[in-house]
A and B are shown apart, each in its own frame.
Chain A
Amino acid sequence: MSNLELGFWSFPVLLVMIFLRAPIGLAMLLCGFGGWYLAMGGNPTPLLAKLKSETYTTFSSYSLTIIPLFLLMGQFATLSGMSQALFRAAESFLGHRRGGVAMAAVGACAGFGAICGSSLATAATMSKVALPELKRYGYSGGFSTATLAAGGTLGILIPPSVILVIYAILTEQNIAKLFLAAFIPGILAALGYVLTISIYVRLYPDAAGTRAPVPMAERFAALGKTWPVMAIFVLVVGGIYLGWFTPTEAAAIGAAATGLVALVSRSLGWSVLKQSLIGTARTTAMIFFIVLGAGFYNGFLALSGVPQFMADWVVGQGLSPWLVLVIILVFYLIFGCLMDSLSMILLTVPIFFPVISAMDFGMSAEHVAIWFGILVLIVVEVGLITPPVGMNLFIINSMDRDTPMKETYKTVMFFVASDIVRVALLVAFPAITLFLLR
């Protein structure tokens, strides 16, 4: 069998393993091992030699060190009472409108997303604060859980974002520019969700109750209490953009600052610190195990020549670049129903990125790379809220046992629709994404 055939055969093997419940990192690692072994003509020596240093260099890669730091920052942020302050502030401004408490939850998610690089952490943290309030004001179960699941995706759509870091490394793009490009689409996402909520409450007026407005002075007092979030966002994302520090340094400073806020707010005791370290540990190990597997698998794919072959083949078809792009995005949407976002990115970007790079969109190579990165980010994040496998749906459902999963599934489709409209907009008008880079 030629290496190219070997490369193509690895896809079905990998998918079968994943669908038979193999840990995703393990499945990629096994395919990578098998591929290297067979491509070397059945000689195990190069593979065994590669393993001597590649695990360590993957785990010690400077650009990846940002991941545990952002994760710990998110852990501290969940403890520091900032989610509470954000929700209070948003709620005091919006709560009296129809569907306003749900809008406030989205707004608070957006704020929290500005200091937390993870969707699930955002969804879980905001749910703790907002679910009881939504219930109190008579919001229906499915409406509440769907809102928070969708809001949670803002954790990754608004920078900082772990997924964008991975994309930046895979495609050798500048993290700071990707973060900057994600900003407007992230805000659009939040606005889109707010719009969705206002449409939803018009269609189903019974799904939400109302409450009296809060005096202006109280609103601004509540807003004032969110200053640590704003300060940390400016420090971290602003610091990266203005070049005060590298993204990794920014993550370290962000973690230190968030930890300090948690300490000052007296929510960071000894046992809580241990808990957040353990939480960081579990997620970090899970991510890096997938990254390790993807490294071996992607190295084998490059060796097999599959990405180059695919790129040449697609270009040879003479399809319109836009059609190719749309096909790829639809592929992500479908696969997103079944797989988690990080594995999808690690698995597919090395194959799709050369295809997209080989096509002419009338933009510079860097702009195409950044624009495509943001589009991919959004479509894989939609996967977090599409049934049947949507991690955000699962996590919120586990926090609200009274609401049947079916109710959540039904309502969340409104938010999925809003996401699809947004993707269509960003595809049609690349300038929206690239605006801040000019």
Chain B
Amino acid sequence: QDVTLRMHQFLPDQANVPKLVLYPWADRIEAASNGRIKIERYGSMQLGGSPPELMDQAIDGVADIVWTVVGYTPGRYPTTEVLELPFMMTDARAMSSAYWQMFEKYMKDGEFKDVKILGTWVHGPGMLHSKDPVTKPGDMEGLKIRGGSRLVNELLKELGATPVGLPVPGIPEALSKGVIDGTTIPWEVTGSLKVPELVKNHTEFEGAALYTLGFVLAMNKDRYDSLDPELQKIIDDNSGLEFSILAGGTQADSDGPSRQAAVDAGNNIITVSGDDVQAWKDASQPIYDGWIADMETKGIDGQALIDEARALMDAYGQ
């Protein structure tokens, strides 16, 4: 059995995630199968549709494999939001590991029952890049900030800032034209967006990150089931917990060079630490309360999920 699988995602081929995570994964599978599996790669939504449709494309078999941001389809995968809560993620590898374990326990036969999930991971610490320095929650008052996720937008509102919805490629223009005063985004993508040239202040947080985003690599279920057992095994061997940790780690590791570029440019890198972090955490408490209440209406014990995610992260690497 020789098969060709179509992989569809929204970033251009030369971006970090396709270049460092997805395409090497595809290469590994092609090599392990001695060419019996061929993976065609379609970046930049070449096969049509918009990024929020990717998950449905995998469910319906429009594409065989998709990579997508879970938050693009708000409301459909509520459990995954636990890892996107503000000041939740301390390390991308640890969180990716926790994500996979919780996926297997809670989501595999639940929210994600329509697709075959091959990997679950998060990006490195999401942080703030702004024109004016931001150190304490009060500095956010009145700023227009591009938020990275639904929960980040909630947090921005809570802090008195105005969340602005923008696709990632729109950030440089919005910054240079003053449409926004800053943006949330991990270091990794700041380089290609020229963020360090457009703003001079970057706010990092010691310990847990301001936010992160959850990703999944998903495959059409029927397509997977139709594969020979040996081919299924090749895919399984390259997917799951280890791959998730590797993917999250690779993405987080790409933060370093971009951060160094901002340092070299002489930008002001603010690290919020100690008691100052507590002020931010206190400010984000309403987001936790709201989320737990929201989960309750869906019959999910939010607090238990939070505790479990924290415990799994702590257990990582020990």
Contacts and interface: CB of A to CB of B under 8 A. Distances in A.
Do A and B truly interact?
Answer: yes
B62 A242 contact: no
B49 A57 contact: yes
A53 B173 CA distance: 29
Interface stretch (A119-127, A192-200, A294-302): A294-302
B194 to A, nearest CB: 13
Contact of A299 (B48, B59, B178): B48
Contacts of B176: 243
Interface string B203-219: 00000000000000000
Nearest to B175: A243
A106 B208 CA distance: 64
Nearest to A296: B48
Contact of A50 (B44, B49, B173, B174): B49
Nearest to A297: B48
B240 interface: no
Contacts of B44: 172
A317 interface: no
A117 B56 CA distance: 36
A243 B179 contact: yes
A256 B71 CA distance: 35
Nearest to B47: A299
A134 to B, nearest CB: 43
A398 interface: no
Nearest to B51: A57
B177 A243 contact: yes
A46 interface: yes
Contact of B50 (A45, A61, A243): A61
B308 interface: no
A49 B62 CA distance: 7
Interface string A279-304: 00000000000000001101100110
Contacts of B162: none
Nearest to B166: A246
A176 interface: yes
A57 B62 CA distance: 16
Nearest to B170: A246
Contacts of A302: 42, 46-48
Contacts of B169: 172
Contacts, number: 58
Interface in A336-385: none
Interface in A235-282: 242-244, 246
A54 B56 CA distance: 11
B61 interface: yes
Nearest to B12: A172
Q: Is the interface of A mostly helix, strand, loop or mixed?
A: helix
B53 interface: yes
Contacts of A40: 61
A49 B57 CA distance: 8
Nearest to A61: B50
B18 to A, nearest CB: 15
B200 interface: no
Interface in A31-71: 40, 43, 45-46, 49-50, 52-54, 57, 61
Contacts of A296: 48
B150 interface: no
B61 A54 contact: no
A53 B47 contact: no
Nearest to B177: A243
B30 to A, nearest CB: 17
Given A46-B61, A243-B173, A53 B48 contact: no
B55 to A, nearest CB: 11
Interface string B261-292: 00000000000000000000000000000000
Interface in B2-60: 6, 42, 44, 46-50, 52-53, 56-57, 59-60
A176 B48 CA distance: 24
A296 B46 CA distance: 11
B178 A49 contact: no
A9 to B, nearest CB: 19
A174 interface: yes
B53 A176 contact: no
Contacts of B174: 243
Give the 6 A-B CB pairs with smallest separation, nearest first.
A243-B177, A299-B48, A49-B60, A302-B46, A46-B62, A46-B61
Interface of A: 40, 43, 45-46, 49-50, 52-54, 57, 61, 172, 174, 176, 242-244, 246, 295-296, 298-299, 302-303
21 contacts: A43-B61, A45-B61, A46-B60, A46-B61, A49-B60, A49-B62, A52-B56, A53-B49, A54-B48, A54-B53, A57-B52, A57-B53, A243-B173, A243-B176, A243-B179, A246-B179, A296-B48, A298-B48, A302-B47, A302-B48, A303-B6
Given A174-B173, A243-B178, A302-B42, 11 more contacts: A49-B61, A50-B49, A50-B62, A54-B53, A244-B177, A246-B179, A295-B48, A299-B46, A302-B48, A303-B6, A303-B47
